[in-house]
Chains A and B, each alone.
Chain A
Amino acid sequence: MAVSGELGPSEVLALMVQPWAAVGLARPEQLDTLFEQLSDLVRQQAAGLTSEEALRAFRDTWLARKSGHLTALKDNWLGQAGPAWKRPLGQGLNALRAQVEASLTTATDRLKTAAATRQWDRERADISLPGRPARLGPQHPIRQMTEEIVAIFNRLGFSVGEGPEIESEYYNFEALNVPASHPARDSHDTLYLADLPGMLLRTHTTSVQIHTLERRPPPLRLVAPGKVYRRDAPDATHSPMFHQVDGVAVDRDLTFGDLKGTLDYFARALFGTSASTRFRPSFFPFTEPSAEMDVSCVFCRQAGCRICKQSGWIEILGCGMIHPAVFEAVHLDAEQWSGFAFGLGVERVAMLRYDVDDIQRFYSGDVRFLDQFRE
């Protein structure tokens, strides 16, 4: 059978198993056409390799050691051709082998990818379903608020102190210039302890001032956060137990201006730099002059609202210059030392900050309330 003109795939295949002599090529150039046709054949077959079986069959057809086409070509053609044909035949065969192997690699990769894609498709999750809930406990708003307040005063050089909740009348009242039966005790409706004569539950953390000033020589700056108690029946704005942060600063020459500057800084740090403060005279037995600090209402920007009772101002804390009687109680010379003190209710600030309508929520332990304070 002589090679002439275009051969179809089956004819090419038939030629491969013929002995070289039967191929009947006249000139080496005719080999190019033949190998092009073989290459087309490989390309056609490779395009149809869409299954493992087809891939295996293709590999066996071309590469099987005994019966593969390439072995047949090697044995029949290369083995039998004359020396002039060896070189072009060898090159053609190598190129054809490379093409078959490359086609196999490509097809294998394609099949793997397709299989993986199908696998991933089966593994596809409905990502719109909710995630498994991570249990993260909330921070109690009172704790959060206390820490924030204390942190601001830390920045201003105030250390943190504490004192006992079970307190003597002396530390809670007398040392703070509130003698027995003073009407100022009316506003501190006190819980007394039946089993401990002369002892009570502290009505303010101001008592920590005395403990601290007794122990530590000034200059000092200190804030004392903690629980305090009043004999108030629980309602939306009262609780027999609540939290206070009390502060004190004692130095050689602290003035009323230092008090104002310190507390003004505090108010802006807590309520934002747009907040402004005003100080108005008030009365506390342990400070003089005494003041209430109001902060401009951050809710209505002083237009007047429910929270500031239309006044534009919200009362935040009580403060004042330390009374000489307090210095006397701790054996400090009021001519040598001066200082200021302040106290604020944590619940009150938290209620303002989070617009909490009922103080009892803080002590209810209700997780529907608490969970909203998750960080």
Chain B
Amino acid sequence: MLVSLQWLREFVATDRDPEGVSRSLTMAGLAVESRQTVEDDVLLELDISTNRPDCLSHHGVARELGAATAQTLRPLEASRGPLQESSTPASSRLQVEVAAPEACARYCARVLEDVHIQPSPSAVAQRLKRLGQRTINNAADLTNYVLQEMGQPTHAFDADLLRGERIIVRYAHPGEKLLALDDVEYTLHPEDLVIADAERPVALAGVIGGKETAISGRTRRVVLESAWFAPLGIRRTAQRHAIRTDASYRFERGADPLALAVAADRIAARLQQQAGATVLAGLIDVSPRVFQSRSVLLRATSLHRLLGVVIPAAQVERYLTALGCLCQADSDSWSVTPPSWRPDLRGEADLIEEVARLHGFDRFPSRLPAFSGAVENLPTAEMESRVRRTLRGRGYAEVIALTFAAREECEALAPGVVPIAMRNPLSEEAAVLRTTPLPSMLHLLRNNLNRGNSNLRLFELGKVYTRTVAQDGVPNVTFDETTVLCLGACGAAEAATWASPERAYDFFDLKGEVEALIQGVAVPDAEWRRPSPEDDIFHPGRAAEVRCDGTRVARLGQLHPELAAGWKFKEPVYLAELNWELLSRLGPRPAGFVAPSRFPASERDFSFQFSDTVEWVEIQQAISALQLPTLNLLQPREVFRGGPIPAGEYSLLLRATFQRRDRTLREEEIQHAAELIIQTLTHLGGRQR
């Protein structure tokens, strides 16, 4: 909120310079965001928190300044001009009925006649303009002026345009419309509170006035409304119609229920002086509910317990009194009656805060509290820090992606998984919570490629969000957020340098990363296999999944060329998605070792030619089925296709390492094992080369 220092000084005589005033207000909780000198005045931009509607006016801010600097606040009434009423009672010209007392606790009105509508006098106009307010005419400007001055929103109607000389505060009828001052015609909702005349709504109560009954150059008679509307209803109406006005902003935070008459009278008095208006006798005051202030008990022990220091009783009383509270002291407590403008002071803690704030937060000594508990980390922390170390060591950069995605992206990359949609998404591209990390990863890879970055290796440890839809008449909707690990890579595994040529990243680079990650986990039995054909987000020949106890813990592969084309990738993109929640629950692979054999190892190489239909896994399984006690390690050393090898076949150079832990092997043992291996390979259809 913008306030004028000149205006503030009308209410509180402070000798501080603008900087001093700013500091005092900031340290009292009214943060001064900026300060700007305008001619002979200084404007302060204040950040007023939602609990302090009383500070949404110059008089309210002056009260804070006075309390913070121990200066007396000049009461509003004292600067009010004399009000001379005519003999005609206002009630003879206007009937007010409050049909919704729960939404409008009190409604005051004044009726003025012979009002000369004209531009505001320069003093009023200048102040409003400085605060960035539009000036319209003297009557409308004065309602705004009093709003800036004391925070009470009021409204001026052209009395001659109110039909039936009646005002009814009621809820809107279904389908009723109102053309408002912002030139928008609103279709009203039955929960909207309206000010109506005998026939129709003339204002959206506490939010915005109607255009048809607005003050104009032809206006001669004015009805001034000064009312108190319940915050919740105002807020809902303002939100429903997306209107935010100075009035609604104040009402929804809580206006001062005892300021209504003062506000109406101050406007009336000024219209009398400035526009020659005749003020009809009496304030129309319909008060369905009488405000009663409640007292709050403040105990000295509570103050001490929470603040840690003893503040002398006299000081406590001075702080609270400066804010408008009535303090009745008892032996070690006070009965405090907060003022009508402080709806936020409801409990003891509220009063403790007021005392602490005016005492000055900087006056409380800092100390470090003792503690005798244990410090526990998240159970997942160790595993997460491990996976980060592993991947960083392998050149992967950690990324953090927004967890939103477009629905189609999720459906394409995680078919059959039901996403959770946002009710009020920011955009279609961020309409749902991602069900898979792959869309985010693809976006980040593509962003990098578009910026000319290549040879990418990225990983993300983040969540995915899914729900299960009601089935078979079960109305339950369950949802889940799960931590996943995602890897994305493209370009070169080893970039070309002056010393060596480029080596492109391929499936086996990715497989190596996933193997390393899974080896770090206490996975009982990881089974690698080709994904089922319906899981078709990867290149059909370059995809794998890892299962553990039948549950898929990872899927990986080259993004399907058709999908890649759709995403406008010009090079192969490799992706892996790991169910990290599940893997990390298994815990890290336990530490420990087996002593290496002291006896020498012997190697034998086997060169065979196989049909493409025979895969490594079969060869491996067949040889391991031999259960050779001497065989220590079996490795594919070379896989070669082309050249002299006919299409559909490949040559395999296989290396077996023989070693025992208890003794040196004899040549015949190795020979025997080698023969068994040759037999096995031949049996699988291999031809020795």
Contact = CB atoms under 8 A, between A and B. Distances in A.
A240 interface: yes
B578 to A, nearest CB: 17
Given A256-B364, A262-B369, A283 B400 contact: no
B376 A288 contact: no
Interface stretch (B178-186, B304-312, B333-341, B551-559): B304-312
B50 A240 contact: no
Q: Which of B28, B350, B356, B500 has the most chain A CB atoms inside 10 A of its CB?
A: B356
Contact of A193 (B362, B395, B420): B420
A362 B460 CA distance: 13
B366 A261 contact: yes
B599 to A, nearest CB: 36
B309 A257 contact: yes
A156 B51 CA distance: 32
Contact of B305 (A196, A253, A364): A253
B350 A288 contact: yes
B398 A140 contact: yes
A137 B457 contact: yes
A258 B393 contact: no
A262 B369 CA distance: 8
Nearest to A144: B398
B448 A135 contact: no
A89 to B, nearest CB: 56
Contact of B481 (A132, A164, A182, A221): A164
Contact of B308 (A164, A166, A255): A255
B394 A187 contact: no
B530 interface: no
Contacts of B444: 364-365
A143 B397 CA distance: 12
A241 B460 CA distance: 15
A133 B499 CA distance: 11
Contact of A240 (B361, B426, B443, B499): B426
A362 B402 CA distance: 10
Given A184-B50, A193-B422, A137 B479 contact: no
B367 A258 contact: yes
Contact of B378 (A160, A201, A220): A160
A258 B356 contact: no
Interface in A273-312: 278-283, 285, 288-292, 309
Interface in B441-472: 443-445, 447-448, 451, 453, 456-459, 463, 465, 467
A137 B375 contact: no
A140 B399 contact: yes
Interface residues of B, number: 91
A227 B367 contact: no
Contacts of B457: 135, 137
Nearest to B346: A325
Interface in A106-135: 129-130, 132-133, 135
Contacts of A195: 420-421, 467, 477, 479
Interface in B387-415: 388, 391-404
B365 A231 contact: no
B368 A261 contact: yes
Given A139-B398, A362-B400, A368 B357 contact: no
A219 B371 contact: yes
Nearest to A147: B385
Interface in A337-372: 338, 362-368, 370-371
A281 B344 CA distance: 15
A258 B477 contact: no
A133 B307 CA distance: 58
Given A140-B398, A192-B422, A261-B369, A166 B465 contact: yes
A183 B392 contact: no
Q: Which of A182, A187, A281 has the most chain B CB atoms inside 10 A of its CB?
A: A281
Contacts of A162: 378
Interface string B241-272: 00000000000110000000000000000000
A370 B369 CA distance: 38
Contact of B367 (A192, A261, A282): A261
A160 B377 contact: yes
Contacts of B187: none
A163 B575 CA distance: 28
Contacts of B135: none
Given A130-B498, A195-B420, A255 B51 contact: no
B50 A186 contact: yes
B395 A165 contact: no
Given A256-B306, A290-B353, A137 B394 contact: yes
Given A282-B49, A367-B456, A159 B421 contact: no
A308 B391 CA distance: 37
A288 B366 contact: no
Given A260-B366, A368-B453, A282 B305 contact: no
B349 A371 contact: no
A368 B399 contact: no
A366 B364 contact: no
B29 interface: yes
Given A239-B402, A256-B356, A196 B467 contact: yes
A281 B357 contact: yes
Contacts of A241: 402-404
B308 A256 contact: yes
Contact of B423 (A183, A194, A321): A194
Nearest to B422: A191
Contact of B401 (A165, A264, A281, A363): A363
A159 B28 CA distance: 33
A132 B397 contact: no
Contacts of B361: 256, 260, 278-281, 289, 291
Given A181-B232, A255-B305, A283-B49, A278 B350 contact: no
Contacts of B424: 191-192, 231
Contacts of B399: 140, 363, 365, 370
Nearest to B307: A256
B138 to A, nearest CB: 32
A138 interface: yes
A241 B463 CA distance: 13
Contact of B396 (A137, A285, A290): A137
Given A137-B394, A288-B350, A290-B353, A254 B421 contact: no
Given A280-B29, A281-B353, A142 B305 contact: no
A257 B308 contact: yes
B50 A187 contact: yes
Nearest to B376: A159
Nearest to B459: A137
Contacts of B369: 249, 251, 254, 258, 261-262
A265 interface: yes
A324 interface: yes
A71 B403 CA distance: 94
B419 to A, nearest CB: 8
B548 interface: no
A281 B28 contact: yes
B497 A365 contact: no
A66 to B, nearest CB: 47
A194 B305 contact: no
A204 interface: no
A68 interface: no
7 contacts: A133-B497, A139-B388, A140-B400, A158-B375, A184-B51, A241-B404, A257-B308
Q: Across chains A and B, which 8 residue pairs bring their CB atoms closest together, nearest first?
A: A135-B395, A281-B29, A255-B308, A365-B444, A283-B49, A137-B392, A261-B366, A289-B353
Given A130-B497, A183-B50, 11 more contacts: A133-B495, A157-B371, A159-B373, A159-B375, A161-B378, A191-B423, A193-B421, A239-B402, A241-B403, A283-B29, A366-B453
